[in-house]
Amino acid sequence: MAVSHSNIKTTLSGMLNQLSPMQLFGGLAIIGIITFSFYNMSRDLAVGLEGDLRTAFDQQNLTVVDIASSRVGFHIDNDVAENVRLLGQFPGMQRQEMRNASRDMEKVNTIAAPRVDGFVLFDANGDLFTVYPESMRFPYKGNQSESPFFKTSKETGALYFSDWIHDGDSLKMRVANAIYKKIILDEDKQSPDGKLSGVIMAQIDFDRTIASELGRLKSSGIMHWIIDEKSGEVLYHSVLPRNAPDNVVESIKSKLAKDLLKAFPSTVLEPGIHRAKLGGTGFSIASARSKVGPHKITVNLAYDDSAVAGLVYEKTNRIYMLGIAFLVVVLIGAVVTLRQMAKRQSLIGEKDHLARELALEEEKKKLSEQVSQLQKMESLGELAAGTAHELNNALTAPMGMLSILKTKPDLDSDKRAHFLNQAISGMEQARAIVEGLLRFSRSELNEKQLDDVNEDIRFVLNMYKKELEHADITLVQDLQEELPSVLAAHRQIQQVVLNLVTNAKYILDKGGILEVSSKSERRNGVDGIIIKVKDNGPGMNEEIQQRIFEPFYSTKAVGEGTGLGLSICYGIVQDHGGLMNVVSAPGQGATFSIWIPSGDKA
């Protein structure tokens, strides 16, 4: 975990490293601008949304109260119509023709149908709710009856059809005294035309009708109520009971209801939206106007503003969440882009680095080729000197002998033959040297050929013999005959041997001994040959031994060696799949060994 974490860290810092301060600043600025503008945008959006929501909410509530109010009117009208229908179906009623103009209630009932002139409606309490037309308020003028026609309802005073009682061929109905009195109100007021063809007296349950109709308002508001516009009286309230006694313990809800009613100067509100603030909480009231029979009413629905605020809060939150998600996406995108950029940058860097490395490698190769060539030339120079000397020596006899013969043409035949033989043997020697040179130059191509490495060793030693002799160094050769042939670039083998021999000569003083040996040796199951060049010089310590094959490492004085000879030899031996090492100790001389696998490999 820690590793991957640090990896992430390093890639992140690597990513940031790839950016210039300008780019970094620019990126941060863009993110800042995006965040700020998004915040602005979403705030505007939230404000707008709040307005829109409020408007929509208001509109919805207005529509609700509007519909509710018209339905209240419709339902009550409907109830009336239903009552009319029921009354009309009542068989007894139809037969009850008004026989006289008495104002008995029976007579009232008998004129109910089918000719209906109007209605008298009572509410559940037996209170007169409405009359229709207005003139129906006074249909019973002049009723002289002493006994009450209607019996008072036992429990609530509500009227039921069962309360109608047959009395002979009359239908009677008992009503509460208060109702009776109400109907008989204003005795001196006449109906406009003085005629009364029929009257229906029906009772509707106002509260129940309204409650069922406005019940749905409860879902969107906290309370609703209906006001009679004419009197400003509360006809119905979803929270406050009608005629509630003053001593009732008030609940929070009933208090709020009362406060809301008192919040406006008049209980009659214009259609539309009204706002009130109670104890820090905002309330809205949607009002609509309608008609119930002859009454103008106002239906009001109150609701808590916090509902809208909550909704707005919820929606705004959603917008903010969306914004955060958007920002996260943008950030991820930015990070991904940055990483991609950084990757590309690092790839480009890598590519450049590789290209440089390659160029360097190429340069190194070229240089090493040049150095190798130089080394070759150096060894060639060494060889050339030796060869020239040998050739001169070889030519000394033929030239001398032939010039004698030229000077003395008349020598006796024995002497002539002797001189000529000597000349020929000298020229044969010269030919052998030239052959060696040819061999040397042939293998110049570095082509690997199957051949005896002893030939290479001999060639080098022959060429270098004189040098060693003159330096008073004893050369000991111990070459195993019948050595297996080796597939090698023999010119290079010669170069290696020559290099080792010249090194030995350099290190050896007069009287030194140089041993060059060859023999077949099997290493790790591979047949091969081993060439050893051993000197009895000063030897070397461990450090020098370890570094001796390094390029440019030299113990010779500055200007006397390139420090490349042995590293090139090492390279050549490796190139032949061989091994090269040195065994030495200070004061004990040094032995360089070259092992090369023989040509006939499995």
Partner 1 sequence: MLKTILTVDDNEKVHDVLEPMLEIWLEDNDLEMTIVKLCNGAEALAWVKENGKPDLVLLDVRMPVMDGAEFLRQVAMLGYDFRPFTLLLTGYADDLEQHLGTDALLMKHLRKPFMTPEFFAALDNLNAARKP
Nearer to partner 1, 373 or 392 (CB): 392
Nearer to partner 1, 116 or 391 (CB): 391
CB of 526 to partner 1, least distance (A): 41
Nearer to partner 1, 394 or 548 (CB): 394
CB of 432 to partner 1, least distance (A): 13
Q: Is 286 exposed, middle or buried (0-12, 13-18, 19+ CB in 10 A)?
A: buried
Nearer to partner 1, 388 or 445 (CB): 388
Residues 358, 366: Cα–Cα separation, whole Å: 12
- Residue 231 tokens read as 């009197």
Residues 413, 204: Cα–Cα separation, whole Å: 178
Q: Do the strands 526-535 and 513-523 form a parallel or antiparallel pair, or are they unpaired?
A: antiparallel
Do residues 73 and 191 make contact, with C-beta atoms less than 8 angstroms apart?
A: no
- Residue 480 tokens read as 């195993």
- DSSP-assigned letter for residue 443: G
CB of 418 to partner 1, least distance (A): 9
Nearer to partner 1, 156 or 392 (CB): 392
Nearer to partner 1, 362 or 560 (CB): 560
- Contacts of 260-269 with CB under 8 Å at 24 or more apart are 260/223, 260/285, 260/302, 261/225, 261/234, 266/232, 267/227, 267/232, 267/233, 267/234, 268/227, 268/229, 268/232, 268/298, 269/227, 269/298, 269/300
Please name every residue paired with 513 in a beta bridge, in sequence order, or none if there are none: 474
CB of 430 to partner 1, least distance (A): 10
CB of 464 to partner 1, least distance (A): 13
CB of 514 to partner 1, least distance (A): 14
CB of 417 to partner 1, least distance (A): 13
Percent composition of the chain: helix, strand, coil (DSSP 3-state, to 5): 55, 20, 30
> Degrees (nearest 5) of the Cα angle 109, 113, 118?
80
Nearer to partner 1, 433 or 496 (CB): 433
CB of 559 to partner 1, least distance (A): 18
Nearer to partner 1, 9 or 415 (CB): 415
CB of 562 to partner 1, least distance (A): 22
Q: Report how far Cα 251 is from the mean position of its chain's Cα atoms.
A: 55
Residues 112, 91: Cα–Cα separation, whole Å: 11
What residues line the site for partner 1 (CB under 8 A)?
385, 388-389, 392-404, 406-408, 415, 419, 422, 426, 466, 469-470, 472
By three-state DSSP, how is residue 167 classified? strand
By three-state DSSP, how is residue 231 classified? coil
Nearer to partner 1, 309 or 427 (CB): 427
